[in-house]
Structure 1
């Protein structure tokens, strides 16, 4: 499984993929180095330090391996986070990489070097070199994570509006964040003001000399920006992208609902008891009764009791099938809601 996809994730528009291909290749290389190669290399440094403590010893002290285990755990945590949800938020690459590589230094490289110097004083030069390599690797990882973010988003292009990446436009004392379903901004003109509006409320976006205006169902918001035309184009593109995804999601949900209705209509509960067979539909209404010749000799009251018991059993079977269909439908919706 590829750690970082070769194509920008969650993009189906060929034009957008082609326009951002070169930018994504550079970003992917930098991100692989910062969040993959260098953290793993730091973990290897800690493993080598742990191995140096056992040089000339028959049994390595168990506690000398703790720094190596901690550094490896940090590298695995960073890679797991990046694979699961880190790719969608480039602004978190630098903080996450800095946090994990710093943890590798504090929990792995520094204590591992101290243990190695104590147990293997003859290898002081090698230990110090490995410690310096770990520190250099952590610093390089943070620098490369910053470069990866800048390579992808520092110079906004129109095609970025058709991606799920948060876009940040700063200037004129305002920081505008264009998210996946809303726009938020912070202004510092005469005091700090935090505001935001969801795309569902935006009717149109216009550009003026030093600001864009978001016309909503409840009024207009003026947002000062350094490049109004670029901000307007990106915001319009992102809103159009959001509307396409919303309409597609609504269409998928409608199809799934119709499929559920058809499946419920096809539910048929069945039960057999004492020569009596009963079938019912999803509403519990009896759709068929079959009586074997053996029931002809039964007393009418006994026959009626067995028939009602068989009907109840068939209804229970139909309810179970309905519940299973509804639960399967709900389980299929849970990942989308959590996403």
Structure 2
């Protein structure tokens, strides 16, 4: 399994893929180094430090392995986070890498070096070299994560509007964040003001001198920006991408609903008792009654009672099938929503 896909996640437009291929290739290489190679290397440094504590010792103290385990756990957590959630948010690459590699230093490299120096004083030079390598690796990982983010999102191009990456635009004392379903901004003209509007409310976007205007049904918002035309084009591209995904999701939901309706319409409950067979549909309405020759000898009261019992049992059978289908549909919805 590839840790970081070669293609940009959540993009199906070949033109967008081609336009951003060079950026993603460079960002992917830097990200692999910062989140994968260097944290694993720091973990290996801690393992080597733990191994050095056994030099000259008959029995290696169990607690000397704790720093190596902690460093390995941090590296694993960082890789897991990147695979599950981190790829779609380049702005979190630097904080996450700094946090996890910093934890590796505090929990792994530094205590591991202290333990190794105490138990193996003859290897002081090697221990100090390994400690320096761990510190250098952590610093390099953070620097590479910053470069990965910048190489992908610096100088935003129009094609980035057709991706799921949050886009941050700074200028004229305003910070604009274009997300996947809304745009938020912070202005510092005469005091800090935080505001935002969802794409569903935006009716029109216009560009003016040093600002863009977001027109909604309840009024207009004026947002100062450094490049009004470029910001407007990027925002309209992201809104169009959001509308395509919204329409596609609605179409998929409609198809799933129609499939469920067709499955429910095909539900049929059946029950047999004393020569009487009753079938009902998903609504519990009787669709068929089959009487065998042996029921001719039954008293009318007994026949009626057995017939009603068969109807009730058939309805219970149909109700169970309906519940199973609805629960299976709901479980599928939850699974797809989590992805």
How does the TM-score come out when normalised to structure 2? Answer: 0.98
Cα distance, 1:154 vs. partner? 0.8
Matches within 5 A, 1:1-339: 1-338=1-338
Secondary structure of the residue that 1:4 maps to in structure 2?
coil
CA RMSD of aligned residues (A): 1.0
How does the TM-score come out when normalised to structure 1? Answer: 0.98
Segment drifting more, 43-52 vs 305-314: 305-314
CA offset digits 1:202-222 (Å, max 9, x no partner): 011111110011111111100
Q: Within 1, Cα distance between the matches of 2:275 and 2:2?
A: 60
Secondary structure of the residue that 2:195 maps to in structure 1?
strand
Cα distance, 1:37 vs. partner? 0.5
Q: Within 2, Cα distance between the matches of 1:8 and 1:137?
A: 27
Unaligned runs of 5+ in 1: none
Unaligned runs of 5+ in 2: none
Q: Within 2, Cα distance between the matches of 1:337 and 1:202?
A: 25
User: Does structure 1 conserve the Cα–Cα contact (< 8 Å) formed by 2:56 and 2:120?
Assistant: no
Q: Within 2, Cα distance between the matches of 1:234 and 1:7?
A: 21
Segment drifting more, 320-329 vs 171-180: 320-329
Cα distance, 1:293 vs. partner? 2.1
Cα distance, 1:336 vs. partner? 4.1
| Aligned length in residues | 339
Q: Within 2, Cα distance between the matches of 1:335 and 1:218?
A: 36
